[in-house]
């Protein structure tokens, strides 16, 4: 498939994990990509793996305005525009009940996971030829969870931001989200390490996700195959959300 031939995508938080798998998939379908992440060396390694002809990295924090401006300008200068944005960078520095949550930590989670997604979208729009946006939310944004409560609150915010932006930016730009369950990455390690088999029993499809499981749905929602789909959040969860309780 060549759904992204001639297209340019910017994927935040793509030096590893889900973001890197999405970048790999888009490049394999013809896109040129700009990837971001905080660690410059990790980003260089990711770009080398993607192939320097159609991939480039800009290191920085997703919630830093100067970094956003530099990354978007780089996409335009290096590849000629910006057609697709993937707001994938997300953090969860908190573990435990909300009653024990430090308000400054909560603020940081909100700034990276929600506010930065809005800012990236506004700034990408200003670049002129944006067609679609994809936000990496989480099933944690659709129900309560143990220990990662404010992360879930932020992802619920991102899901609503998706619907709101979809309404406001239609018909020119489509905005959708993915809500993955546990995908085996550095971020989610604490949720399954040492008990993967037990955790996987909650999934009708019998296993936890891997980043490549998210890349196909991401490419679909970004592509013209989803031309009449906007404002949606697609659960990518091995069926976990349809398992009956009890
Ligand atoms: N894994 C799961 O089970 C799961 C489930 C649902 C949703 N998600 C969401 O999926 C997205 C990707 O997570 P992942 O599981 O793929 O995690 P990951 O493997 O830890 O990768 C996170 C990526 O984002 C970068 N990053 C982290 N904080 C950043 C920041 N403040 N600014 C810019 N880049 C940043 C990381 O590089 P640096 O550390 O070098 O910055 C890395 O490239 C997140 O939004 C997460 O909430 C994950």
Mean pLDDT of the residues in the chain: 97
Whether 13 is in the pocket of ligand 1, judged by its Cβ within 6 Å, is: yes
**Which pair of structure tokens corresponds to residue 65?**
């305005």
pLDDT greater than 80 at residue 168: yes
Q: How many domains does the chain have?
A: 1
* pTM assigned to the model: 0.98
pLDDT digits (tens, 9 = 90+) for 60-111: 999 999 999 999 999 999 999 999 999 999 999 999 999 999 999 999 999 9
Nearest to 29 by CA among 222, 191, 195: 222
User: Is 2 part of any domain?
Assistant: no
User: Is 246 part of any domain?
Assistant: no
User: Is 143 part of any domain?
Assistant: yes
CATH number at residue 93: 3.40.50.720
Q: What is the pLDDT of residue 244?
A: 85
pLDDT greater than 90 at residue 245: no
Average pLDDT, integer, range 231-244: 96
pLDDT greater than 90 at residue 226: yes
User: Is 197 part of any domain?
Assistant: no
- 151, 185, 214, 221: the catalytic one is 151
Q: How far is the CA of 246 from the centre of ligand 1 (A)?
A: 32
User: Is 225 part of any domain?
Assistant: yes
Element (H, E) at 59: strand 55-59
Alpha helices, DSSP H, located in the chain: 17-28, 40-50, 65-79, 103-110, 116-126, 149-169, 196-200, 211-222
User: Is 165 part of any domain?
Assistant: yes
Residues in the chain: 246
Spatial separation of the C-alpha atoms in residues 71 and 65, rounded to whole Å: 10
Q: What is the pLDDT of residue 128?
A: 86
Average pLDDT, integer, range 172-181: 98
pLDDT greater than 80 at residue 246: no
Whether 141 is in the pocket of ligand 1, judged by its Cβ within 6 Å, is: no
User: Is 49 part of any domain?
Assistant: yes
Which residue range is the domain that position 112 belongs to?
8-178+210-237
Residue 151 among the catalytic residues: yes
User: Is 191 part of any domain?
Assistant: no
**Which pair of structure tokens corresponds to residue 84?**
């697709």
Nearest CA to ligand 1 atom 41: 38
């Amino acid at each position: 498939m060549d759904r992204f031939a001639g297209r340019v995508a910017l994927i935040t938080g793509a030096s590893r994990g889900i973001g890197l798998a999405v970048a790999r998939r888009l490049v394999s379908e013809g896109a040129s990509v700009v990837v971001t992440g905080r660690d410059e060396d990790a980003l260089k390694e990711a770009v080398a793996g993607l192939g320097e002809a159609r991939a480039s990295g800009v290191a920085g924090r997703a919630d830093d305005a100067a970094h956003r401006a530099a990354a978007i300008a780089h996409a335009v200068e290096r590849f000629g525009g910006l057609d697709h944005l993937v707001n994938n960078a997300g953090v969860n520095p908190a573990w435990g009940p909300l009653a024990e949550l430090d308000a400054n930590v909560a603020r940081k989670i909100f700034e990276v996971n929600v506010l930065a997604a809005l800012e990236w979208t506004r700034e990408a729009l200003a670049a002129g030829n944006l067609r679609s946006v994809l936000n990496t939310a989480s099933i944690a944004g659709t129900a309560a969870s143990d220990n990662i409560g404010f992360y879930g609150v932020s992802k619920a915010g991102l899901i609503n931001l998706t619907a709101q932006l979809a309404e406001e930016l239609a018909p020119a730009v489509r905005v959708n989200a993915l809500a993955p369950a546990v995908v085996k990455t550095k971020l989610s390690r604490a949720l399954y390490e040492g008990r993967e088999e037990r955790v996987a029993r909650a999934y009708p499809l019998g296993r936890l996700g891997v980043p490549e499981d998210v890349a196909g749905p991401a490419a679909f929602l970004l592509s013209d195959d989803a031309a009449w789909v906007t404002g949606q959040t697609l659960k990518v969860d091995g069926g976990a959300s349809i398992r009956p309780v009890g």
